[in-house]
Structure 1
Amino acid sequence: MNHVLNSEKDKMKSGQLYNAFDADLVKDRVRASKLCTQLNELGKATQESREKILKKLFKTCGMNVWVESPFICDYGYQISVGSNVFINFNCTILDGEDVTIGNDVLIGPNVQIYSATHPVDWKVRKSGLENTLPVTIGDNVWVGGGVVICPGVTIGNKSTIGAGSVVTKDIPSNVVAAGNPARVIRVL
């Protein structure tokens, strides 16, 4: 028997068109905003204090995760972070769908990771509906400063994304990719 997706949250998590202004989703974003505010107000507090908030905010959070402030996300509960991860200042993650960050990942300042997207058909977009696609960042990845990672993208293990790049398509493992749109410029 097929499960019927009734709630806007179910639709969001499955990549279907959904109404982001649904009361439950607004409540979830308020929760995430409060936790992000707590995190951002800690300053250079202890690792333990920061990880305590991250474990409440994220779906999963490995060991030795440091997120510099300010940090902003939509929901938090769609973000999975491995161990030994450093996320630098001013990272924004729109996590209407799963955003998975592997182990031993470095994310530079001003990085934006988007799972949320809008229909290209203006009539559908005008209705206020949006949808999501998952984003995956593999293990041992370095994402340079100012990178934008678009919905539906997977970045393979051990790859480097050059500063200022816009990642619109999957990037294989063991490469350096850069540019707008990002493209492989060297195999490692």
Structure 2
Amino acid sequence: MKVKLSILYAWLVRTATLLLPNIPLFMRFRGFLYSLMMKRCGRNFQVTSTAILNSLSGLVVGNDVYIAHNCVLIGLDIEIGDKVLVGPNCIISSANHTFQDDAYRFGKSEPRAAKIGSGSWIAGNCSVVGGGVLPPMSVLGAGSVLNKPFTETRGLYAGAPAGFIKKLQ
């Protein structure tokens, strides 16, 4: 019941604040409203008006996090560290579909955590799916798909599926 209530509440927040301009004051206000139903939320959580956050009850966000335009966060186990920047048009999901009765349509959801380390940047048009872990102070290159855990701190990861490219200074 709590999950369904958090989805309804997220829709209500998005609808009620959709026309507020995307300036820090209103983005922080929007983040504050979302935080009321979240598992845990730090200070200065900024969310743009066109971002979609579902299942707030499983979302953990650190301090100074920014979610850009047209991002979708969906799932019951998403953890975002401090000082994270999520670029436009990104999807973060903490579950994968399974195959059942000759289709994925009715397969049970397979929940797996999605984690973004502190100080990281997810560039535009990326997907982070269940099981994906971006280490602290790392960059996920534009258009990448993160579907497995990585451990190299301060790394550049890119591709579909994402792979380690190089160590950042």
Larger CA deviation: 106-115 vs 55-64: 55-64
Judged with a 3 Å threshold, the aligned counterparts in structure 2 of structure 1 residues 111 and 126 are, in CA distance, closer, same or farther, namely closer
Cross-structure match for 2:39: 59
Q: Deviations over 1:47-77 (max 9, x none)?
A: 4532431222422221112111211122111
Cross-structure match for 1:156: 135
- The partner residue of 2:15 within 2, 15, 37 is 37
In the TM superposition, residue 116 of structure 1 has moved relative to its aligned partner by: 2.3
Cross-structure match for 1:104: 83
Cross-structure match for 1:3: none
User: What TM-score comes out, normalization by structure 1 length?
Assistant: 0.78
**1:96-175 mapped onto 2 (5 Å cutoff):** 97-122=76-101, 125=104, 127-172=106-151, 173-175=153-155
Output the aligned Cα RMSD: 2.2
Cross-structure match for 2:160: 180
Q: For structure 1, list consecutive stretches of 5 or more residues without a partner in the other structure.
A: 1-8, 10-23
Q: Deviations over 1:126-172 (max 9, x none)?
A: 65532311111111101000000011111111110000001111122
Cross-structure match for 2:67: 87
In 2, distance between residues paired with 1:141 and 1:36? 25
In the TM superposition, residue 78 of structure 1 has moved relative to its aligned partner by: 0.9
Q: For structure 2, list consecutive stretches of 5 or more residues without a partner in the other structure.
A: none
Identity of aligned residues (%): 29
Aligned residues: 165
Tell me the secondary structure at the aligned position of residue 34 of structure 1: helix
